[in-house]
């Protein structure tokens, strides 16, 4: 799978950890930055990652920041992107099962380091359930 990554300084350490995990798992990674812990603005990195999903360049995106909230808001402004904010395994599963998320937002300051890769992996491995959820996703896309 081709996966975009985008973060500000507050998510940089987890981005690097996730990137290594994805590459080790055989995924192709497009890293939109940032490339350090120096203070920067997340829209400069999150928006291009989200746009790469909307354009079809990447299949999914993972965006990060301190809380993940602003990053999810930024990604969701891009038509065709359904970015779910996850903070534990169950929230990551539900954003795939119920919302067919094609982007995941994570907060480095909110998630323990020993859990972040498990959240990413369960999100990658979980399928969309369809059914009653499909009509809701269709409504998201039509608005």
Task: Judge contact between 65 and 95, C-beta under 8 A.
Answer: no
Specify the CATH number for the domain of residue 63: 3.40.1400.10
| pLDDT of res. 139 | 84
C-alpha–C-alpha distance, residues 9 and 89, integer Å: 24
Specify the number of domains making up the chain: 1
Residues assigned a catalytic role = 71, 98
Structure confidence at residue 143 as a pLDDT band (50, 70, 90): low
Provide the domain limits for residue 15.
2-142
Strands annotated E in 8-143: 28-31, 60-65, 83-85, 103-107
> CA–CA separation, 23 vs 18, rounded Å?
9
Q: Measured between alpha carbons, how far is 106 from 104 in angstroms, rounded to an integer?
A: 7
pLDDT tier at 96, thresholds 50, 70, 90: very high
């Amino acid at each position: 799978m081709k996966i975009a990554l985008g973060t500000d300084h507050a998510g940089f350490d987890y981005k690097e950890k996730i990137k290594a995990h994805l590459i080790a798992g055989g995924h192709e990674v497009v890293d939109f930055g940032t490339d350090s812990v120096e203070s920067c603005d997340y829209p400069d990195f999150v928006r291009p990652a989200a746009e790469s999903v909307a354009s079809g360049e990447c299949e999914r995106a993972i965006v990060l920041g301190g809380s993940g909230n602003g990053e999810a808001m930024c990604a969701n402004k891009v038509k065709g992107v359904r970015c779910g904010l996850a903070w534990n395994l169950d929230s990551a599963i539900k954003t795939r099962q119920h919302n067919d998320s094609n982007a995941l937002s994570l907060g480095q300051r909110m998630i323990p380091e020993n859990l972040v890769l498990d959240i990413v992996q369960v999100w990658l491995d979980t399928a969309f359930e369809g059914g009653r959820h499909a009509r809701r996703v269709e409504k998201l896309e039509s608005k």
